[in-house]
Amino acid sequence: MSAPRSDQEWREKLGEERYYICRKGGTEPPFTGALLAEKRAGKFHCAGCGAALFSSAAKYDSGSGWPSFFDRVKDAPITEIRDESLGMVRVELRCGACDSHLGHLFPDGPAPTGQRYCVNSLSLTFEPESS
């Protein structure tokens, strides 16, 4: 799946809410995302380009209000960027394939990685495993 190139193409592909999150670096309100409670086996993909990013096997309830994962799938195109906005230092997560904003990475996750990939539901799509 190829990613749109112009701002207008992104708006048309994503719709206004997803556009704000993915292309403008927004954050959805906690506990509102459709994928927060998703428990089926499957993969989570970038809403912008379809790249596989996370597996349901690494998803857990962090209590943060956003889908959280302790690891990414092998070869997931995720770029980590130092983020000093809002008066704090964090690590922003962006899709390395289409540059969509995903969320943030925190060093407070469970074993085995100790990482928490805190991701906006609107930055993702979910594809359940086929039975």
Give catalytic residue positions.
118
AA letter at 5: R
User: Count of residues for the chain?
Assistant: 131
Task: Say how far apart CA 120 and CA 131 lie, in whole Å.
Answer: 27
E-only strand ranges, the chain:
42-46, 52-55, 59-60, 68-69, 78-83, 90-95, 101-106, 116-119, 124-128
